[in-house]
Structures are given as C-alpha cells and as structure tokens.
Amino acid sequence: MSLRRITPRFVRGLLLLVGLAAAAAHAQSPAVAPAAPRRGEAVAIPAEALPARADTALEKGLELESRGRWGDAVAHYERAMRQNPEDRRLERRFGIARLHSSLERRYADASYLDTLGQLDTAAALDLHAELLSKIQAHYVVAPPWTKLTRDGAEAMLIAARDPGFLSQHGIRPSAESVGRLRQELIDRLSAAGQVRNAREALRLASDFSRLGEAELGAPASAWTLEFVAAAAGGLDGYSAFLTPGQLRDVYSQIEGNFVGLGVELKADGGALLIVRVIPGSPAEKAGIAPGDRITAVDGQQTATLTTDEAASLLTGDEGSYAYVTVASPVEGDAAAHLTAKPTPQGAILGESRTIRVRREHVEVPSVEDARLTDAAAGVAYMRLPVFQKSTARDVESALWDLRRQGMRTLVIDLRGNPGGLLTAAVELADKFVDQGAIVSTRGRSEGEDFDYRAHRAGTWRVPLVVLIDGDSASASEIFAAAIRDNRRGAIVGDRSFGKGSVQGIFPMTRSGAGVRLTTAKFYSPLGREIDKVGVSPDVLVSAEADVVATGYRGAEPADDAALVRAIQVARQQAKLALQQPAVR
C-alpha cells in the first residue's frame, strides 16, 4: 500500500525531502500534561470563550481521542489548526494525539519490535545520543531541548497506559504506581529547570528511563526509545523517528515503486476512503475506484480499528492476498459521489462487496492522463500525482508525444500532489524557465543554503497553465511558484497547502532506523516564503466549486470547475501561440 505523503532526494550524500507529512508543529508543553483519555472515558470539554468553530473542532477531536482513534485525531487537528492557527488548545491536543499515534504505529510495526528486542539499555542510549547529535547539527533552528525532554516524559506516561506497550512488555502497573511515576517526573523536571543542551537532555532521558524500569517494570531501553521518538516528533509536524520498515518505505518511494495494492487512503468516518488508485495496480485490476470506502480487511471491520491498524492489514509480502470489503457511493449522491475526499455528512454507499486482491510490485507513474484535451485549439493536459526520480524524464517524453499531436498550450494538473523530490521539481521547472531563479533553501547551517537556477538549454516555450489546490504541497509549490514568479504561465485553482520546508533523512548507525529532520525552509524566486502561506493562484477557483473530482483522473471538464477554467485560460494562450513559431 502507498500513503504517498513524502518523497526524498539526495544531495551531498544526504537524503532530503520536500513532501507533505503533516500540517503543523507541536505546541510547547507544560512539564507533564494531564493524561489523555482512555477509550470509552468521558471527556470534559474546556469552556473557554473562544470562537465557536475552534470549540467545535476541539470537541470533535476529543471525541476521536476518547475512542482511541489517534491517527484520525492527528489528521483532524491538522485541519483544524489551519482554520484556527491561534488556538493553542488545538496545538496542544495535536501534540498529545501525535505522541499516541506514534506509539501505536511503532508497536504495530514488526521492524520496530525487532529493534526493541535487539537493543539493551546502553545501545538505546547510544541511539538517543546519536539522534540528539543530528538534531544539534542539522535542525533548522536552535533545538528546544527543554520541550523535547518534557515531551519524552509525557511519552513515558502515555506508554504507561497504552495496551500495546503494556502487553509487549508483559506488565500491568497499578494506577498508584503510574501516579508515583508521574509525580516523580514532575518533580525531577521542575528541579532540572531549563535543559540547555543535548548532553543534559541525554542525562535526563537516562535517569527517567531507569526510573520507568524501577517503577513499572518495562526495560529502560523501551522507555529510552520513547524519548527517541518524542525528541524527533516534538521538533515540528514534519520531523519524525523512522522505524526500519518506514525507512525502507522512504527509499522505495525514491524509485517510485513498492509492494502493495496500489491505493492511497484517508480516514473517513470509520472507513478507509480510496483517494487514488494507481494505474495498472492490483487495486485497479480488482475494480477498486477512487471514492470507494474500505469497510473491512480480512474480515476485520475498519470501524473497530484505528486507521493505522486498518492500513497495516493491507500491507504484506509480494504474492500474498488481502480480502477487502468495499462499498461504492450510490450513483447520484451529489454530496459525496466519487469526491475522493472525506465528507462531514458521509457518503451514501451502495451494497458492500468483498474482493480478493493480490499484493504485487507496483510502479508509480509520474505522469498520468497525458492527452490533447482540445485538439482544435491545441490544448494539452497532463496530471502529475507526485514528484519522483523519473518525473522530469517522463514529462519530457510526454511533451514530445503531445507536440506531435499538435500541442500549442499545456495544462499541468498538480491538484492533490503532496510533493516529492526537490530535485524533480527543480528539473521540471528548468524545462519551462529559461533563466533566473527557481527556488532557494535556507537553514541554520550554511551547508543547507542552496540557490537553484534555470538553464536555457532544453527549455520548452509552450504556454503553461498550472492547476493547484489546497492539497498541492511542497515540491508542487516549488514548481508553481517558479512558474508564477518568472511570469512563465498562469496559476489556476485554489491557494496551495503552504508547506515550505525541507526535511533530511538520516539513517542511524545502529538499529536500521532513521530520522526525518527539518533542515531548511525554501523560498520562491522572488524571495517569498511558502511555509504557512502557500502559492496564490492568478485565477481563483475555489475547491467548493467542483462538483466532482475523481482523484482528478477521468473527470469530464463540465464536472470540474477548475479544469474548465484552466482550459479556458489555455485556449486564450493558444490563440496567441498560433501567432508564434512551433513550440519547443
């Protein structure tokens, strides 16, 4: 299975990312926050007189937390924080939900459990020391050592009540022992005061890990790994600890291939919404389509599982089978018919069917649906689902095919494109921009500062329209901003996501794990910041104007307001192109 959120690039031996992982950074934490509610526990909703929209979002998030749906809560809080950026309660709950989700994912990951079994206390501390050293050397701003230490203590208390953690280590601590641990952590954090450097952070993590072993019984190495995960994840919404399996997935995405069903998923009211089906994949061959909802996997109802648990059931070895229960939207459901996006009121679903799907090696195409959409006017179209290693080469091939068919203007659809390889975005922009800046990156270390510029050789002069929306992120924004700032084409659609940072993938020297760290921010050719701002279109077409968006593949123009407008702009460009020599 592919959850195509993030894709990397290599620079100077360092693996860097410019893809969408999460939408916001953690809030600063008190020494140890109140424990989050257990499944089924009642949740008290704060009564602060803040905007009703934020109150409603908080209530919904707490409801997800009370059901133990931590991955869904993370996604919910991400969306809510974009709408309520000043609400610290949402930031705080996002941080708590992310700690829970991280723990849940790791303890459902066989590669992490293998690592856990191989590391003794000294080895776990060495891993933590290496992580802190990388944060010190590469993180985009001065590391918040105090916050990271407090996050680690909070992660310990979350683990002390998590069924997966307790079962894995064979412990059943009493409420009294957890309470003693909590109070001792509070007292020690208060006595420590500000944590000034990585050395002090490591010492406290070591002390607290031994305390966890003494009070509750799980080995100190297990508690230390909670500090490892919390330190990486507590920096911002994009940095994270990577288990060996997750690190392998990242490397697979570099090449644009993996083993799975070939679908992209989102949580949707207890089901898994099919956002995209990769062309030629096992899922497509089985008749699964964007907009379908998976309601059970191998007989287990997704409503009783967390999103991560349900998604993990879809993974497996090449040649194995998954039994997937799928429901499709009823024809004529105007509210959610094939929207391929979660809908607040839910979709009207037809009768469920169970399909046997064989897990296979899936090649992810970097160009989809390249065609001449208006032969008379010479308007060509292509969709780019992600920026990966082969994108520039595949686009070049498609351009020559479209040129032979009579292309005089081109619509490039980046809607829903979460990003990918920074170099792929630069290489693609370089195909259309003949001179000047493409993008610049700036970090705390001078080694992260780069200025990427265009080269005249091989430039295509075909007029451009670039389609974007609120899910176009990172590498998509690099390309769109380069086209906009260099006045190379028209940007049509909705404001983009606003993910303007670069992440580096650092393999760890032991354990087979890795860490993703934010190392720099990137800026448009005119020096405009992208992070939390996005790219504004020249022609605004709100996403709400679209009646249908079947993963942006195969929708007729009449059903897709943004595409209709983009084609109109392209036709205007084509009229001007008729007065020019043949494009190249």
Is 187 one of the annotated active-site residues of the chain?
A: no
Catalytic pick among 126, 485, 546, 560: 485
Is 474 one of the annotated active-site residues of the chain?
A: yes
pLDDT in tens, 51-102: 578 899 999 999 999 988 898 899 899 889 988 888 999 999 999 999 999 9
The pLDDT of residue 29: 29
Report the C-alpha gap between 170 and 374 in whole angstroms: 65
The pLDDT of residue 347: 53
Task: Look at residues 110, 117, 138, 95 and name the one whose alpha carbon lies nearest to residue 229.
Answer: 95
Catalytic pick among 499, 501, 521, 524: 499
Three-state SS string across 512-560, please?
CCEEEEEEEEEECCCCCECCCCCCCCCEECCHHHCCCCCCCCCCCHHHC
Give me the DSSP letters along 161-213: T-HHHHHHHT----HHHHHHHHHHHHHHHHHH-S--SHHHHHHHHHHHHHHHH
Report the C-alpha gap between 335 and 548 in whole angstroms: 10
The pLDDT of residue 19: 55
DSSP letter at 349 equals B
Work out the number of other CB atoms within 10 angstroms of the CB of residue 49: 6
The pLDDT of residue 15: 40
Q: Is 495 in contact with 471 (CB distance < 8 Å)?
A: no
Q: Any idea what the Cα angle at residue 52 is, between residues 46 and 53, rounded to 5°?
A: 105
The pLDDT of residue 43: 35
Return the C-alpha torsion angle 442, 447, 452, 458, nearest 10.
-160
Work out the number of other CB atoms within 10 angstroms of the CB of residue 454: 21
Q: 83-94 in b/e burial notation, b at 16+ Cβ within 10 A?
A: ebeebebbbbbb
Give me the DSSP letters along 270-310: TEEEEEEE-TTSHHHHTT--TT-EEEEETTEEGGGS-HHHH
Is 236 one of the annotated active-site residues of the chain?
A: no
The pLDDT of residue 545: 56
Phi, psi at 204, each rounded to 5°: -65, -40
The pLDDT of residue 520: 95
Catalytic pick among 209, 472, 474, 496: 474
CB contact set of 568 (below 8 Å; sequence gap of 6+): none
Task: Pick out the chain residues at pLDDT < 70.
Answer: 1-51, 254, 306, 308, 331-350, 543-558, 577-584
Task: Look at residues 433, 312, 425 and name the one whose alpha carbon lies nearest to residue 366.
Answer: 425
- Expressed in angstroms, the distance from the first to the final Cα of the chain is 38
Radius of gyration, CA atoms only, the chain: 24
Report the C-alpha gap between 156 and 467 in whole angstroms: 45
